[in-house]
A and B are shown apart, each in its own frame.
Chain A
C-alpha cells in the first residue's frame, strides 16, 4: 500500500532536528539516586521498627509456620529495598541497621 510507505520527507528531517534528545541536568542523577536511597532506607527502617515492636507473644506466634507469611513477605520486600543501594552505588552510605541486619535479627529471633 503506497500510502503506508515509511515517509521520508523534509518534515521528518525537521522533526529530527527539532526533537533532539535532551541531556539531563548534571544534578538529576544525584537527585534520583538520592531519592531511591531515601525510599529504600525508609523501607528498611520500617521493617526494623516493626521487628522491634514485636512482643514476646507475637514472637512466639511467629514460631508457628502458619504465621510465616508476613515476616517472609517483609523480609523479601526489605531485602529488595536494601538491594537498591547497590543500584545507586551508595552502599557505603548505608547505615549499619539496614535490611539485611533486620532479616538476620528476625532469623535469630525465630531460631
Chain B
C-alpha cells in the first residue's frame, strides 16, 4: 500500500491478536479525548462525531506502523495528531466560514447559585471568546492542555514541535489571553 497503511507484514496469530487488543485499549482509553478535541475544534457535536469516527478509522489503518515506530511511547499524541489534521482539513474545506470553530461550543460549567451561574458563565464566555480569537496553533495547544490534560511533551508530539517550542507556545497563548481579557474589562 502506497501510504504504508496496513503494511503487508506477515503477522503471526499471536502478534495479530495483541495488535487488536492494543488498538481496542487505545480506543477505549481515548475515545473521549478524540471526541473532546474534535468538539472544541469544530464547535458542534454532529461534526465532532464525524471527525472522531474518521480519526479512529485512520488510526486503525496505520496502527501497526505507529505502534512499531512508537518505541514504547504512549500513542495518545499520535491519535490526537490525526484528529488535529482532520480538523484542519475540515476548516480548510469550510474556508468560507472561518469563524465556525468554537462558535457554538458553550463552556461547560457546574454552578449552583443563579448569581454564580450568570457571573460564572460570563467569565467562561469571555475566556471562550478570547480563545476563539487566538491564532490556530495557540488555540489548539490550549485545547490539548486544558480539555485533554496533555503535558508539554505530549502536545509537542501532537503538534510536531519541540518540547521547548511548545512550552513557549503555551506560555504566549495564556499571556495573550490574559491581555485580551484584561483589555476587555
Contacts and interface: CB of A to CB of B under 8 A. Distances in A.
Contacts of A89: 24
A12 B112 CA distance: 21
- Give the interface SS of chain B, mostly helix, strand, loop or mixed: helix
A22 B6 contact: no
Nearest to B28: A29
Contacts, number: 135
Contact of B127 (A14, A29, A76, A83): A14
Interface residues of A, number: 40
A20 interface: yes
The CB with the most chain A CB atoms within 10 A, among B8, B23, B143, is that of: B8
Interface residues of B, number: 55
18 contacts: A7-B174, A11-B177, A14-B123, A14-B124, A15-B145, A15-B174, A17-B107, A19-B107, A20-B107, A21-B33, A22-B36, A25-B45, A36-B56, A39-B57, A72-B8, A72-B10, A80-B6, A88-B24
Interface of B: 1, 6, 8-11, 16-17, 19-21, 23-24, 27, 31-33, 35-36, 39-40, 45, 48-49, 52-53, 56-57, 60, 64, 107-109, 120, 123-124, 126-128, 131, 142-143, 145-149, 167-168, 171, 174-175, 177-178, 181
